[in-house]
């Protein structure tokens, strides 16, 4: 089947006089999870990994991907003519360089510019200019090759009311228009689905795990136009749109939007996220009336308002209830001698979240991993292939839910049987990192890169480290990963601001042995002002106990022990009203009855995470 598809593609290439074609792995909205309509790469190759680009010539079919997916490539593309081009290895040759080396002078390279970023295409163009090559943009060239290409979903849009968002659509639009005006613009074209959803207070089910609406949005001074599948605009949404000066038009017409703008239009687009086809069309029509700048929505969306913050607290309370039930179930199931699989456990977790009010769906594909599986950075068990949880070592569950009140993302690593000394030490060191960053105090202007080390230094002092970022922003009933803030080592000039919500999730992974990660969600809060500055700190939102029993107390300071005891005590107290007698007793045994002895009296200042 792949063979036939490649043959058809090559026929088209001959007709178009393309020496090579790029089959991208993204969608037009730089979504983290790509909707089925844009799974071009998968259609053309069968490769289901979340990262990779394909380049096809008459003689060659190659897939460029990184270390995470080498094994998956071998499994999924065996028997096809696809060749793996390794990225993130010392000898890596990205596909533009490969093209320069192998394509003839004056070559023509076909692309679908709707699924590539501006930077990506500009880079390709620059590379090809060295061999007098050109890039030919043919949006949706895949249509003629993919007869049953899925349409965009037509699930209805729903309005997320002010009860949950805390801010009306009218207010948000008015804010944006002011922002545009301050940048000497009067209109803006948006393509990031979470920005559009946040701005209009709308949600939908177009992408798994992320309740957004596939669309473009054009905001002008007197109206806003949402380009989307019109079937999604059910009557009550249409009414809501009318009240807010929003017009819905077919998704496909977005590309023509620039032509009907008034002659005095000065339009803002964010070239970092807008796809190449749309951006270059705008540049062509508007010339110097197109302003390329960072979308003001990104930062504004990250600064959660009081209602959103209260919602997040509620969502984490619900998560805490569901997780308590889950870990009790897991312990009792194992004690009864039964051994659920990793997917059984994930299903159980999802079903317990589903019991909570206002639950929508999972917020990402859970990572459910026993023992050495937890050491695989991108372990993705399936119902067909996954391990059985046996009562030995550590079990790691990274999961989350979408509730109408907020989006959750939590990782707990729990002992399910006897632990090795190394498991205990690693568990403790990672926890010290979580505590170290969660209790940070820092002046305004401090960036993620400045404080990230607080989650790492206990590991570093023991010559251990983890290879991923320490934390990411999270959307409100939106993407589980959102910017602009970040907790990682990379030097990136974005200050942490009060009202940002970020995960803190240090880990440690030992191949063939075990994996540990302790992930909480922390809210950045103001801590007052004095002669030395304006101070910020964090409040932990996550409300699920952290098991103290694997901890090696000698590796912890009294302050760290006190933090853990206080945290668990607070979790217990807050969850109490929603638990059965059995559950209360069980949680008590994990928290209050399980405290680490602290020789000195608990210092009150460590209580301020709550």
List the structure tokens of 284. 């062509």
Site membership for its own copies, residue 443 (CB under 8 A): yes
Binding piece for its own copies, criterion CB under 8 A, among 29-37, 155-163, 410-418, 460-468: 460-468
Site membership for its own copies, residue 429 (CB under 8 A): no
Cα(193)–Cα(478) distance, rounded to whole angstroms?
A: 9
Binding piece for its own copies, criterion CB under 8 A, among 75-83, 164-172, 301-309, 489-497: 489-497
Q: Are 259 and 100 in contact (CB under 8 A)?
A: no
Site membership for its own copies, residue 527 (CB under 8 A): yes
Q: Are 210 and 233 in contact (CB under 8 A)?
A: no
Encode 125-153 in three state secondary structure. Answer: HHHHHCCCCEEEECCCHHHHCCCCCCCCC
Considering only 10, 424, 464, 569, the residue that binds its own copies (CB under 8 A) is 464
Site membership for its own copies, residue 607 (CB under 8 A): no
Considering only 200, 267, 440, 477, the residue that binds its own copies (CB under 8 A) is 440
Site membership for its own copies, residue 444 (CB under 8 A): no
Comparing CB distances to its own copies, the nearer of 288 and 493 is 493
Residues contacting 511, CB < 8 A, separation 6+: 372, 375
Considering only 12, 84, 285, 457, the residue that binds its own copies (CB under 8 A) is 457
Site membership for its own copies, residue 601 (CB under 8 A): no
Binding piece for its own copies, criterion CB under 8 A, among 188-196, 246-254, 265-273, 449-457: 449-457
Binding piece for its own copies, criterion CB under 8 A, among 93-101, 228-236, 405-413, 485-493: 485-493
Q: Minimum distance from CB of 409 to its own copies (Å)?
A: 25
Site membership for its own copies, residue 67 (CB under 8 A): no
Residue in 209, 32, 237 with CA at minimum distance from that of residue 226: 237
Reduced to 3 states, what is the DSSP secondary structure of residue 173?
helix
Q: Minimum distance from CB of 465 to its own copies (Å)?
A: 4
Reduced to 3 states, what is the DSSP secondary structure of residue 218?
strand
Site membership for its own copies, residue 465 (CB under 8 A): yes
Cα(208)–Cα(107) distance, rounded to whole angstroms?
A: 39
Site membership for its own copies, residue 420 (CB under 8 A): no
Considering only 255, 339, 449, 592, the residue that binds its own copies (CB under 8 A) is 449
Site membership for its own copies, residue 553 (CB under 8 A): no
Comparing CB distances to its own copies, the nearer of 467 and 577 is 467
Q: Are 82 and 45 in contact (CB under 8 A)?
A: yes
What is the phi/psi pair of residue 205, to 5°? -115, 35
Site membership for its own copies, residue 535 (CB under 8 A): yes
Cα(569)–Cα(512) distance, rounded to whole angstroms?
A: 35
List the structure tokens of 349. 């977790």
Burial of 391 (0-12, 13-18, 19+ CB in 10 A): middle
Considering only 53, 140, 372, 452, the residue that binds its own copies (CB under 8 A) is 452
Q: Are 258 and 228 in contact (CB under 8 A)?
A: no
Residue 321: how many CB atoms within 10 A of its CB?
Answer: 22
Residue 88: how many CB atoms within 10 A of its CB?
Answer: 9
Site membership for its own copies, residue 461 (CB under 8 A): yes
Comparing CB distances to its own copies, the nearer of 147 and 599 is 599
Name the pairing type of β-strands 134-137 and 108-111.
parallel
Site string for its own copies, 566-585 (x = CB under 8 A): --------------------
Question: CA torsion sign, 542 to 540 to 209 to 518?
Answer: negative
Name the pairing type of β-strands 158-159 and 134-137.
unpaired
Site membership for its own copies, residue 184 (CB under 8 A): no
Binding piece for its own copies, criterion CB under 8 A, among 81-89, 116-124, 394-402, 487-495: 487-495
Site membership for its own copies, residue 441 (CB under 8 A): yes
Considering only 14, 264, 530, 577, the residue that binds its own copies (CB under 8 A) is 530
Q: Are 22 and 116 in contact (CB under 8 A)?
A: yes
Give the residues lining the site for its own copies (CB under 8 A). 439-443, 445-447, 449-454, 457, 460-461, 463-465, 489, 491-493, 511, 527-528, 530-533, 535, 557
């Amino acid at each position: 089947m792949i063979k036939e598809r490649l043959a058809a593609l090559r026929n088209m290439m001959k007709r178009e006089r393309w020496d090579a074609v790029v089959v991208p792995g993204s969608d037009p909205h730089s979504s983290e999870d790509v909707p089925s309509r844009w799974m071009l790469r998968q259609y053309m190759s069968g490769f289901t990994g979340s990262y990779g680009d394909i380049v096809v010539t008459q003689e060659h079919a190659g897939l460029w991907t990184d270390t995470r997916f080498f094994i998956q490539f071998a499994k999924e593309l065996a028997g096809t003519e696809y060749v793996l081009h390794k990225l993130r290895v010392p000898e890596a040759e990205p596909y533009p360089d490969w093209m320069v080396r192998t394509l003839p002078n004056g070559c023509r390279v076909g692309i679908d510019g709707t699924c590539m970023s501006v930077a990506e295409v500009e880079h390709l163009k620059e590379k090809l200019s060295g061999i007098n090559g050109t890039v030919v943009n043919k949006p949706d060239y895949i249509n003629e090759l993919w007869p049953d290409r899925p349409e965009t979903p037509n699930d209805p849009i729903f309005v997320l009311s002010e009860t949950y968002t805390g801010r009306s659509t009218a207010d948000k639009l008015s804010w944006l228009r002011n922002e545009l005006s301050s940048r000497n613009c009067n209109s803006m074209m948006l393509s990031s689905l979470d920005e559009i959803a946040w701005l209009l207070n709308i949600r939908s089910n177009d992408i798994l795990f992320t309740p957004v609406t596939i669309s473009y949005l054009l905001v002008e001074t007197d109206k806003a136009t949402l380009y989307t599948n019109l079937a999604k605009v059910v009557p009550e949404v249409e009414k809501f749109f009318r009240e807010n000066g929003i017009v819905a038009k077919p998704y496909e017409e977005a590309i023509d939007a620039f032509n009907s703008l008034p002659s005095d239009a000065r339009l803002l687009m964010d070239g970092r996220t807008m796809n190449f086809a749309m951006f270059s069309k705008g540049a062509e029509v508007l010339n110097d009336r197109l302003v390329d700048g960072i979308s003001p929505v990104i930062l504004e969306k990250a600064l959660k308002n009081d209602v959103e913050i209260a919602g997040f607290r509620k969502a984490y309370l619900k998560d805490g209830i569901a997780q308590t039930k889950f870990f009790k179930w897991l312990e009792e199931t194992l004690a009864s001698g039964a051994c659920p699989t990793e997917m059984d456990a994930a299903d159980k977790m999802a079903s317990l979240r589903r019991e909570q009010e206002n639950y929508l769906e999972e917020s990402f594909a859970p990572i459910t991993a026993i023992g050495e599986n937890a050491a695989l950075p991108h372990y993705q068990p399936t119902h067909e292939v996954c391990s059985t949880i046996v009562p030995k070592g550590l079990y790691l569950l990274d999961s989350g839910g979408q509730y109408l009140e907020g989006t959750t993302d939590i990782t707990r690593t729990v002992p399910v049987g006897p632990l090795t000394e190394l498991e205990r030490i690693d568990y403790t060191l990672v926890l010290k990192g979580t505590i170290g960053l969660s209790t940070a105090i820092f002046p305004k202007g401090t960036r993620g890169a400045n404080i990230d080390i607080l989650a790492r230094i206990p590991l570093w002092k023991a010559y251990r480290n983890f290879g991923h970022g320490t934390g990411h922003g999270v959307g409100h009933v939106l993407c589980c990963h959102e910017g602009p803030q970040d907790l990682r080592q990379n030097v990136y000039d974005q200050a942490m601001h009060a009202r940002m919500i970020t995960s803190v999730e240090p880990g440690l992974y030992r191949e063939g042995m075990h994996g540990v990660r302790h992930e909480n969600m922390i809210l950045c809060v103001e801590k007052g002002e004095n002669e030395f500055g304006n101070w910020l700190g964090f409040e932990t939102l996550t409300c699920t106990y952290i098991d103290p029993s694997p901890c090696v107390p000698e590796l912890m300071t009294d302050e760290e022990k006190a933090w853990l005891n206080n945290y668990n005590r607070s979790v217990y107290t807050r969850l109490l009203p929603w638990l059965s007698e059995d559950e209360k007793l069980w949680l008590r045994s994990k928290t209050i009855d399980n405290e680490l002895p602290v020789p000195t009296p608990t210092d009150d200042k460590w209580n301020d995470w709550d």
